C-alpha cells in the first residue's frame, strides 16, 4: 500500500471512528456499519483537527467522501486527504 492510499484509509478510519463512537459508548458496543447514504460530508464531517493526527502537522484537508463498491470486495466509504507540514522551508538537501 502506498503512502497516499494508506493515509486515505487512516483518515477514513479516524473520521468514521470519531463520528461513530461517543465518549459515553459502552466498551463492548459493536462497530457501526455505514451505508452509501452515510458516506457524505454532512454525516462524516469535513475536517480533522491537527492534534487528532498524533504527528506534528500544520493542518489537514479532506476531500468529499465517496462510496466505493465493487464486485469482488465489500463496499466502503473512502475519504482522501492531505496533511500540511509544520515547516514549509526548503532546506536545500
Compute the CA torsion angle 5, 8, 60, 33 (nearest 10 deg).
Answer: -170
| Nearest-angstrom CA–CA distance, 23 and 45 | 17
74 phi, psi to nearest 5 deg: -65, 150
Flag whether the pTM goes above 0.85.
Answer: no
* Domain locations along the chain: 3-84
Give the SS3 label for residue 28.
coil
The pLDDT profile of the chain, 93 residues, written as one tens digit per residue, is 444 444 555 555 554 444 444 445 555 567 778 899 999 999 998 888 888 888 888 888 899 999 999 888 889 999 999 888 887 665 555
Amino acid at each position: 500500500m502506498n503512502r497516499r492510499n494508506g493515509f486515505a484509509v487512516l483518515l477514513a478510519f479516524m473520521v468514521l471512528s470519531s463520528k461513530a463512537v461517543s465518549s459515553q459508548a459502552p466498551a463492548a458496543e459493536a462497530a457501526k456499519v455505514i451505508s452509501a447514504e452515510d458516506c457524505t460530508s454532512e454525516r462524516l464531517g469535513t475536517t480533522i483537527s491537527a492534534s487528532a493526527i498524533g504527528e506534528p502537522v500544520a493542518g489537514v484537508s479532506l476531500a468529499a467522501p465517496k462510496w466505493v463498491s465493487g464486485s469482488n470486495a465489500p463496499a466502503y466509504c473512502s475519504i482522501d486527504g492531505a496533511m500540511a507540514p509544520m515547516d514549509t522551508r526548503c532546506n536545500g538537501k
